[in-house]
Chain A
Amino acid sequence: QVQLVESGGGVVQPGRSLRLSCAASGFTFSTYSMHWVRQAPGKGLEWVAVISNDGGIEYYADSAKGRFTISRDNSKNTLFMEVNSLRSEDTAVYFCARETSGALPRYFDYWGQGTLVTVSS
């Protein structure tokens, strides 16, 4: 069955960097575009970024441009998100999600359980 398991969250000081990972299993990872979505405590879902199946195309929400970098290693079935210059407003649970296959446009059919990032001194 499809599984997405995020890791890498924790308490980080403002201004520092962090790399989140999402380990995928149960499907052919290299054939799917993947996304990161975040959720601040008690708030709604915010789409952050997407990467194409081969890693050749990346696209970011305006709030993520410049400090967030999405990447993937298809040989290891793993998705990454690097966040630089962390701010208090980056405090959130970060989810990875799989984009559906087939005809465009596409939505998300599987999500990981999320990893909590807390930015605090």
Chain B
Amino acid sequence: DIQMTQSPSTLSASVGDRVTITCRASQSISGWLAWYQQKPGKAPKLLIYKASSLERGVPSRFSGSGSGTEFTLTISSLQPDDFATYYCQQYSLAWTFGQGTKVEIK
């Protein structure tokens, strides 16, 4: 099984900050990585697929990069609507999620 590890688990930031979340895979997954945003009591929402492709309708302040085993999600200028939990997901071999990164208000 492929394990996904996100860091940090919690991130405190202010509106306007640049935020970066890291996701590491236990083995190479090429670029087969997605990022989802989840707000309390809501379904996850797809943000990015294939490591760096922005899902239609997602603001351009979200970006993804990486390949192989190390990936990042960056929010260029944090907005009030962005306070949420973010999950990476590998889909190279079955499907596995990272444990999540909660972005909270500083």
Contact = CB atoms under 8 A, between A and B. Distances in A.
Nearest to A112: B43
A37 B100 CA distance: 15
B100 A45 contact: yes
Interface stretch (B14-22, B65-73, B88-96): B88-96
A44 B46 contact: no
B97 A105 contact: no
Interface string A36-49: 01000000111100
A67 interface: no
Interface of B is mostly: loop
A95 B42 CA distance: 10
Given A105-B91, A106-B91, A45 B42 contact: no
B47 to A, nearest CB: 11
Interface in A9-37: 35, 37
Give chain B's interface residue range (CB within 8 Å of chain A). Answer: 20 to 34
A107 B98 contact: no
A44 B91 contact: no
Given A37-B97, A105-B32, A105-B92, 4 more contacts: A44-B87, A61-B94, A107-B46, A108-B46
28 contacts: A37-B97, A44-B97, A44-B99, A44-B100, A45-B36, A45-B38, A45-B44, A45-B97, A46-B97, A47-B94, A47-B95, A47-B96, A47-B97, A59-B94, A61-B94, A95-B43, A95-B44, A100-B49, A107-B32, A107-B34, A107-B49, A107-B89, A107-B91, A108-B44, A108-B95, A111-B45, A113-B42, A113-B43
